[in-house]
Structures are given as C-alpha cells and as structure tokens.
Chain A
C-alpha cells in the first residue's frame, strides 16, 4: 500500500472515530437527568445570596467605576 493511501486511510479512520465516539460537537456529552444532584445544589447558584450579590454590585459600581455593569433599569428612554 502506498504511503499516501495509508495516510488517507488513517485520516478517514481518525475522522470516523471522532464522529462516531462522542468526541464531536454533534454528539456532545450530556449529563443525564439522574446525575444532576450536584448541579441542583444551592452552592451552584451564583445568586443564592441576595445580600451578598447586592453588596458586590455596589462595590463594583462605586469602587471600580462599573456602574451599570450588572444591568440597569429602564428601556433607554432616559427617564430612570
């Protein structure tokens, strides 16, 4: 077998392996519904502490000139 043919065959085999074994984006890894206990934990919620979130928003707005970085009220009319 010619070297080019071998390389081509190897590339085809590698492509098939990638596409057929879950390594492609088409068949992405999916966390099964019964495996989501850790994801459902409250520790995974970044907004679980409302007071802490408000404080951090105030700090980033006032000390780091990031006012509006967390979202602002109003719809662009300038009335807020």
Chain B
C-alpha cells in the first residue's frame, strides 16, 4: 500500500466484508463452544415445547422419574426391568416414570419398544430437544423429581442393585412428603 505522499505504509487493512464474515464465524464458534449448564440437584426440570413436552408434562405435580436412554445403550437396556418393577409398585401411589429415548432414528426407537415392551411410559426426544437442555452427563441418566418439579436426586449411569435400592428409597421418601 502507498500513502498519499507516495511513501509505502504498513497499514493493517481488512475489508469490511471480510471483517464481518470473520466476526460472524467467531461469534458462531463462541456460541457453539459455550458449555451448556447441566441440570443439577435443586434445579427445576426444564419445560420444552413439542412432542416431548407432552410426555414431560405428565410429571407436573407428581413424584417423577425422567430417564434418558437409547436403544444402542446396553446399561439403559439393563435398567428397564428395574424401572418396570418400580413403576408397578409405586405408580398406584402416585409415581410417574417417563423414559425419554435419545435415538437419532425413530425406527430404532420403535423397534426397541416393540421388541422389549417396557412396562412404563416411554417417549422419543425428537431432535434431542430435551436432552440438550438437561445436558445429561452420561447414558443412562435419570432425574428424580419431587411434586414441586424440583430435581432431588440424579443417577448417572446404571449400577444394578445399588441404583435400584437407592431409587426405591428416594421414591418412598418423596412420596411420603406432602
């Protein structure tokens, strides 16, 4: 670049269009890299719009367990009989279980449900709308809520009888609360 006086300069020149595009790319990267806040004990369980909301709206005012699972997740599959037992015992006392599948392909979800026919309500979190908001730490993860919709207990992963026993105690505790 040459100045008005004819002397070479070392101006740092960036065209406006390039600067705007650079800004947009950096803004997108920044927004994409912001880590989503995980739902923690004491938080209110998020409400969302869409199909998954119908399933999650069942938990309003009830002691509830929301479990995130997938057809490709072996520990999730192992946890299903335990949830079925829990549901059969405590549903008459007011427990609601909603098992949200995070499968990408709805046919995988449908095939799994048809094959294993879980004995409790299941639903598909289409487009990962809910799980993105909740930001589960691992698969499976279940959230145990009190009647006020507040998350009281979180179980990351399924650890067999240890998880079963803990869930039973927690459900009994929450059902006993007025």
Q: Which residues of A contact B (CB under 8 A)?
A: 3, 6-7, 10, 17, 20-23, 27, 32-37, 40-41
Contact = CB atoms under 8 A, between A and B. Distances in A.
Contacts of B68: 34
Contacts of B42: none
Given A22-B32, A22-B33, A17 B26 contact: yes
Interface string B22-43: 0000100110110000000000
User: 7 shortest A-B CB distances, which residue pairs?
Assistant: A22-B33, A21-B29, A34-B102, A3-B10, A6-B12, A40-B72, A33-B139
Interface residues of B, number: 27
A45 to B, nearest CB: 12
Interface stretch (B49-57, B91-99, B130-138, B147-155): B130-138
Interface string B69-91: 01011000000000000000000
A67 B12 CA distance: 61
Contacts, number: 48
Main secondary structure on chain B at its contact with chain A? loop
Interface of B: 9-12, 26, 29-30, 32-33, 68, 70, 72-73, 102-105, 108, 128, 131-132, 135-139, 141
A21 B30 contact: yes
Contact of B12 (A7, A20, A34, A36): A7
21 contacts: A3-B11, A6-B12, A7-B12, A17-B26, A21-B26, A21-B32, A21-B33, A22-B32, A23-B29, A27-B33, A33-B138, A33-B141, A34-B102, A34-B132, A34-B136, A35-B128, A37-B70, A37-B72, A37-B104, A40-B70, A40-B72
Contact of A10 (B12, B102, B131): B12
Nearest to B14: A10
Nearest to B131: A34
A3 B13 CA distance: 10
A29 B128 CA distance: 18
